[in-house]
Structure 1
């Protein structure tokens, strides 16, 4: 299968005023599209062509000779996952199974917010903050650049993009404001519950 740019699960202006249509036009339409295009070019004619993104990431992670393939495929996967983790009118404390697990595994919602923001704030440069399932327990992690928890044996439940292109047009250098807004106004907890299974 070749890489494709998925449709956003909402209209370009649906996340306003928290994330502008202009940001989504660039982030989805240009950045995500570029990872799709570059990834397809690099995969064309290779022994990895036709495999799933998860298989490709597993076979190329940590291989310096295949860094280009890994970076582009992982960024397609990460962004596709990120879009689904947001929704209009989202954010705030979760409901359902994830709420109970956050209480049990992470010490409550406030503690989760603190640790998740800290993961995003301390990710130097570009990268991602994640809520994952690791060895049957919830955990907060962060990854640089295109790295993905799947390659470390963890199951992603939610991610927040902390590359500058995710927030710069709306928040300039105020990454903490973007992260607070993500958690208070945007998180799609139904998506997280579905990933929890």
Structure 2
């Protein structure tokens, strides 16, 4: 199966000024495109040639894992954002309050994890098989699917995600991220 670029659910300029069109052009249009192209090249003629991304994330190693996970992670990230944010739905607010105390405490824990992740990687809101929510950080191409967890929300803290708009100010990027989260998408994933 040939992997293709996912469609953005909004125009490239829609997240500005919190995430500029230039950032989306590079992050989505160049970085993600490179992962997709590399994945197709690396899997050609291998047992993974027709495998879904999730299977590669759970079982592959090396370049195939890295490019499959980065393709999946980036797609999930871009699908987590919206230019038209709505309040946190009541059902999601209840779930977050149950496991974190309040939505604010969840955001604080998530922000601390994303800010404190050394080097490049991802910070996730995940659900375990008992339905408990937690925050998990993964370095490089790491993905919680490998640990049997269900991803609900993610922030990309690789420098390419924020350097055009925020330079080395990761904390400012994370603060802006909270104004772009598609809470309805998070709830949809929680209920799936």
**TM-score of Structure 1 vs Structure 2, range by shorter chain:** over 0.9
Specify the alignment match of 2:124 in structure 1: 130
Specify the alignment match of 1:46 in structure 2: 46
Tell me the CA shift for residue 188 of structure 1: 0.2
Matched residues, number: 190
The CA RMSD measured in Å over matched residues stands at 1.0
In the superposition, the TM-score normalised over structure 1's length comes to 0.94
Specify the alignment match of 2:19 in structure 1: 19
Tell me the CA shift for residue 2 of structure 1: 2.0
Contact 1:96-1:193 within 8 A present in 2 as well? no
Give 2:137's match in structure 1, choosing from 135, 142, 154: 142
Give 2:107's match in structure 1, choosing from 99, 113, 118: 113
Tell me the CA shift for residue 35 of structure 1: 0.2
Specify the alignment match of 2:77 in structure 1: 82
Specify the alignment match of 2:64 in structure 1: 69
Q: Deviations over 1:89-110 (max 9, x none)?
A: 327x511321110111111011
Q: In structure 2, how many angstroms separate the alpha carbons of the residues matched to 1:96 and 1:48? A: 41
In the superposition, the TM-score normalised over structure 2's length comes to 0.96
SS in 2 for 1:130: strand
Q: In structure 2, how many angstroms separate the alpha carbons of the residues matched to 1:128 and 1:147? A: 7
Ranges in structure 2 where 5+ consecutive residues have no aligned partner: none
Contact 1:127-1:143 within 8 A present in 2 as well? yes
Q: In structure 1, how many angstroms separate the alpha carbons of the residues matched to 2:68 and 2:90? A: 32
Ranges in structure 1 where 5+ consecutive residues have no aligned partner: 61-65
The 10-residue stretch of structure 1 (133-142 or 145-154) with the greater mean CA deviation from structure 2: 133-142
Specify the alignment match of 1:29 in structure 2: 29
